[in-house]
Chains A and B, each alone.
Chain A
């Protein structure tokens, strides 16, 4: 009699044993899959509602912070005190539009470790700090603000880099947007309007848009000729009104449609300072398509740039393709036709000249710090590639300094500072030309003196429209940034 009662008891108790196994399976084994299922509504709440670490600039200006929500307990609201100034670099964390910028790239650091995964629990037991880490950017707030003000309403981008370390000192893309308007659950209409805006305010033009480089590419063409030992600054070229291209009806002429010097001959140096297309078209053909492609790849074309944010790969036609097409080689050598680049890579190219031909890996995050402000780890500068030889870099720096002191880049000059640069006016069919300036300073920094390399692009001529040139539109923006950096009045 008791036997069957006992058997029934065991059977039912066995049922609870099975439930314990099922609960263990559901929560510990299959648990993470359920938890991370995109349909789990908790994900949304976690992504936006959990505390994320603060982000500050190099000079400790707060640019992203999580504040406790007024309406929902335990939840946080992400806010961006500087509004649109850091919209593209810092990015945003949004319920509806995902996560972008540094918020996305460094989400592991910015998120709290306070969860119930085994590693989270162990970390808590071992006394680890569960609060999210904060990030200190390499960006200088004053420089960033000045760069944004200088661009103003014009579409474009400014990238400033420390050539010796790769620290990004400023990165601005216009038009911008206020990331605070994309955070909440009601951001749908605002976000949709931004997505559909033909001016593409959500796009980071500094890294995620490519343009024809125009004459700033002459830095790389010149580097190619100098590196292979084909030319020196004093090498003399023919000085025609227009350069006839072999196997093609197309010609290359100078910006003003005139000869570069006197019609009889012109040195490489003078052609660089005056940005003469005829000479650099010829130099490109002299170097040859194969070598020109190889040298441009040394500067980072056709390579993906290692960076915290997504960077569009800059494109240069293949050497094999150009080797048999001198006309295309000449046109690409002056930064037209197929060649496409990003403002970031052009800033790195200017930085290469400033840094004896060596390109550092660019980076945006200087330090990761814990909740009590202690620096946990710092980014060490690393070399990305060698773009050109120190000797060539020195010659290029000298020619670029003359561009600013007496050539097309005079409007980038800062009184009392040795600035080097190159302007570009990239022709685009159907619209006003893009105005470029790349440069750096000081040309020979004193011991311990910091230097800066910069790329500026203003799309479609900016405020100057059809009459815009790199010298008239982009160079003054660079001067404003240089002046702020060196702490002198723009004059």
Chain B
């Protein structure tokens, strides 16, 4: 696919968002208004800007990623606009900022390439860990954590004299820094970690010192789970560690051990933490817990079931009845109004993005780039899988945003940084 085709698809995705906004306004009895034009221009500026940055600084990059990201963002935006007009206005600003940051990443790496990131891996790790712990800052500080919906994963910056609070989720950025660190670390250590020749009974196990990273990963995930009550982030980080270890070593030992640890942690958490237990019970039988823990899941099922094959039509359903319809449950809103047809289009969009991302990893020449591209793709894939499995009741609800589609600036910016890094790796892979 050529750059020109990519530009055409960006225009098409921008039109999709604009037409969606127009349909929502039609169903409210309004004629074309400024919202349609503003939406079109913002999408074009954000994704078009990224496209121009690629043309300038990463001309050899894959042209599959930006159109796919634009499509997913557009579908999510239509539902955000339909449910909460004010959130949509903020989301448009986020989109512009994210596009700018994505382009800035490409500019910064224009001559040094991603290789420069290897040099700063411990700095990046430290920053990442710091970001993860940031929400624990006490409330009295100017920069402090905030608890939203029972989870402490927000950070607020209060500037004295200005009546504005800047809030963001540092975990969204931290996950990218952790991928960069792991890709670099594993590129050096993978060979020794792949040696699995000690035997405990019939099982082959690696050298105990090589188990360190897995245990560290499990430890960090568990700390996050306990102190921030963030099931989603801890699960995402843990699954990411395991996936990257497997990619680097090819040893299913790490996957099995990781899975076992996750199950043990899950059982312990179930027994120890009320909020975990409630979520698991709500998952097993949401209808029995309809009035409390299962309410959100059930409302999601009602919405998706009501959407049926072709959906109620944009603007004609009641996705506003689902709690967190613009964030964690954006998929249920799409499923209600665009039907199974829309759901499958969205899932296929993610599959295409993931396939393209791994394609970049496989074509890359060295290990670091392979693991970087694979890890970044895995973050998007795992995050989407974890929250969608929760919405579709294959897994307990853990609370994660859906990359590209959910309302939220931090999430959108993180997704754009991932796209920019993948584009850069892809460019270097072909150069």
Binding site for B on A (CB under 8 A): 1-9, 12-13, 15-20, 22-24, 26-28, 30-35, 37, 39-42, 45, 73-74, 115-118, 121
Contacts and interface: CB of A to CB of B under 8 A. Distances in A.
A39 B290 contact: yes
B102 interface: no
B246 to A, nearest CB: 6
B56 to A, nearest CB: 29
A2 B358 CA distance: 10
A7 B394 CA distance: 22
30 contacts: A4-B246, A7-B250, A8-B374, A9-B362, A12-B378, A12-B382, A13-B354, A13-B355, A16-B350, A16-B385, A19-B392, A22-B392, A23-B304, A23-B335, A26-B301, A27-B335, A27-B343, A31-B305, A34-B306, A35-B305, A39-B302, A40-B302, A40-B306, A42-B306, A42-B317, A73-B27, A73-B29, A116-B308, A116-B311, A121-B309
Interface string B300-324: 0110111111111001111001000
Given A4-B246, A6-B362, A9-B354, A73 B28 contact: yes
Nearest to A17: B351
B232 interface: no
Contacts of A73: 27-29, 315
Nearest to A72: B28
A368 B340 CA distance: 34
B321 A42 contact: yes
A71 to B, nearest CB: 12
A26 B344 contact: no
Given A35-B302, A74-B315, A26 B370 contact: no
Given A4-B246, A16-B350, A20-B347, A26 B298 contact: no
Best-buried of A27, A31, A32, A39 by chain B (most CB within 10 Å): A27
A39 B289 CA distance: 13
Contacts of A19: 347, 385, 388-389, 392, 394
Contacts of B312: 116
A123 B351 CA distance: 33
Best-buried of B29, B321, B340, B350 by chain A (most CB within 10 Å): B340
Contacts of B250: 1, 3-4, 7
A28 B354 contact: no
A6 B354 CA distance: 11
B237 to A, nearest CB: 16
Contacts of B361: 5, 9
The 10 A-B residue pairs with the shortest CB-CB distance, nearest first, are: A34-B305, A9-B358, A4-B250, A31-B305, A116-B308, A22-B392, A40-B302, A12-B381, A27-B340, A23-B343
Contacts of B243: 8, 12
Contacts of B176: none
B247 A5 contact: yes
Given A5-B247, A5-B362, A16-B351, A27 B315 contact: no
Nearest to A15: B385
A122 to B, nearest CB: 10
Interface in B386-408: 388-389, 392-394
Instruction: Provide the main secondary structure of the chain B interface.
Output: helix
Best-buried of A5, A42, A73 by chain B (most CB within 10 Å): A5
B304 A31 contact: yes
Contacts of B307: 27, 31, 116
Contacts of B315: 73-74
A5 B186 CA distance: 13
Best-buried of A12, A13, A40, A115 by chain B (most CB within 10 Å): A12
Interface string B337-360: 001100110011011001100100
A40 B348 CA distance: 29
B153 interface: no
A130 to B, nearest CB: 12
Contact of A39 (B29, B298, B374): B298
B344 A20 contact: yes
Contacts of A24: 340, 344
Contact of B378 (A8, A28, A45): A8
Contact of A28 (B248, B308, B321): B308
A217 B150 CA distance: 74
A121 B312 CA distance: 11
B304 A26 contact: yes
Contacts of B348: 16, 20
B144 interface: no
A401 to B, nearest CB: 61
A32 B305 contact: yes
B344 to A, nearest CB: 6
A94 B95 CA distance: 44
B310 A26 contact: no
B350 A41 contact: no
A37 B294 CA distance: 15
A37 B378 CA distance: 37
A101 B311 CA distance: 31
B249 interface: yes
B381 A45 contact: no
A118 B378 contact: no
B367 interface: yes
Interface in B213-257: 243, 246-250
Given A9-B358, A19-B385, A116-B308, A34 B343 contact: no
B48 to A, nearest CB: 28
B102 to A, nearest CB: 23
A6 B309 CA distance: 33
A2 B362 CA distance: 6
Contact of A41 (B305, B318, B340, B377): B318
B374 A115 contact: no
A423 to B, nearest CB: 57
Contacts of B317: 42
Best-buried of B290, B310, B393 by chain A (most CB within 10 Å): B310
A35 to B, nearest CB: 4
A32 B370 CA distance: 45
B305 A30 contact: yes
A12 B381 CA distance: 7
Given A12-B385, A42-B306, A27 B339 contact: yes
B305 A9 contact: no
Contacts of B355: 9, 13
Contacts of B392: 19, 22-23, 26
B72 to A, nearest CB: 13
A26 B385 contact: no
Nearest to A3: B250
B168 to A, nearest CB: 27
A337 B29 CA distance: 63
B308 A8 contact: no
B248 to A, nearest CB: 7
Nearest to A36: B305
Contact of A74 (B316, B367, B394): B316
Contacts of A26: 301, 304-305, 335, 392-393
A41 B304 contact: no
A4 B248 contact: yes
A35 B340 contact: no
Best-buried of A3, A17, A19, A32 by chain B (most CB within 10 Å): A19
